[in-house]
């Protein structure tokens, strides 16, 4: 039972970490997309400037090349982030599957323990009735039962 709790706790921590990683990846991906947009906008602006005077053509061309390289690097980073995000989602699904199985096992154990407690309670009650009958052989215990309670000195059916 302790092992189940520890494993469930570890799985919950792992899910939390994976969720945090996934969130960080999404934020980084959004930032890269924004950077990509800005880079493309700057690239377009610089390209427009390159169409103007001939003296700027060479320097602007270099800037365009740099911006293109930066855009390519950004797209590579975006692809890596998307791949990592997919991997994190797969891991998260696996951990969720484990948690579902452990939850089912926990439910089964809970049902077994509940059943055992009810059986022990019933056996204890029967033992107590046997002891009372042994000590007081003439006493009528037929009105007693597991679902009876003494309220204000009267034996009544217990309300569930």
Q: What is the pLDDT of residues 8-27, one digit of tens each?
A: 788 788 888 888 888 888 88
Per-residue pLDDT, 91: 94
Per-residue pLDDT, 53: 67
Average of pLDDT values for 102-119?
A: 95
Looking at the chain, the whole-number percentage of residues with pLDDT higher than 70 is 92
Residue (of 1, 5, 8) closest to 99 by Cα position: 8
Percentage helix, strand, coil for the chain under 3-state DSSP, each rounded to 5: 80, 5, 15
Break the chain into its structural domains and give their ranges: 2-157
pLDDT, tens digit, 9 for 90 and up, residues 134-158: 999 988 888 888 888 888 988 898 8
Residues 80 and 36: their CA atoms lie apart, in Å, by 15
Residue 4 pLDDT greater than 80, yes or no? no
Residues 147 and 132: their CA atoms lie apart, in Å, by 18
Q: Which CATH class is domain 2-157?
A: mainly alpha
The reported pTM is 0.44
Residues 24-47: b if buried by 16+ CB within 10 A, e if exposed: ebeeebeebeebbeebeeebeebe
Residue (of 45, 50, 43, 30) closest to 72 by Cα position: 43
Q: How many CB atoms lie within 10 A of CB 15?
A: 16
For the ranges 22-31, 49-58, 105-114, 130-139, the one whose mean pLDDT is highest? 105-114
How many residues does the structure list for the chain?
160
Average of pLDDT values for 54-74?
A: 85
Q: Residue 150: which H helix or E strand, with range?
A: strand 148-151
């Amino acid at each position: 039972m302790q092992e189940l709790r520890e494993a469930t706790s570890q799985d919950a921590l792992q899910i939390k970490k994976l969720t945090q990683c996934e969130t960080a990846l999404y934020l980084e991906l959004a930032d890269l997309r924004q950077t990509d947009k800005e880079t493309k906008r700057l690239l377009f602006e610089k390209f427009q400037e390159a169409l103007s005077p001939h003296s700027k053509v060479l320097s602007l061309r270099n800037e365009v090349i740099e911006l293109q390289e930066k855009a390519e690097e950004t797209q590579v980073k975006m692809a890596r982030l998307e791949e990592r995000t997919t991997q994190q989602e797969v891991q998260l699904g696996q951990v969720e599957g484990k948690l579902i199985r452990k939850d089912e096992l926990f439910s089964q154990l809970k049902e077994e323990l509940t059943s055992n407690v009810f059986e022990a309670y019933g056996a204890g009650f029967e033992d107590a009735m046997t002891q009372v009958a042994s000590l007081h052989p003439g006493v009528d215990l037929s009105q007693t039962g597991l679902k009876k309670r003494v309220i204000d000195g009267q034996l009544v059916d217990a309300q569930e």
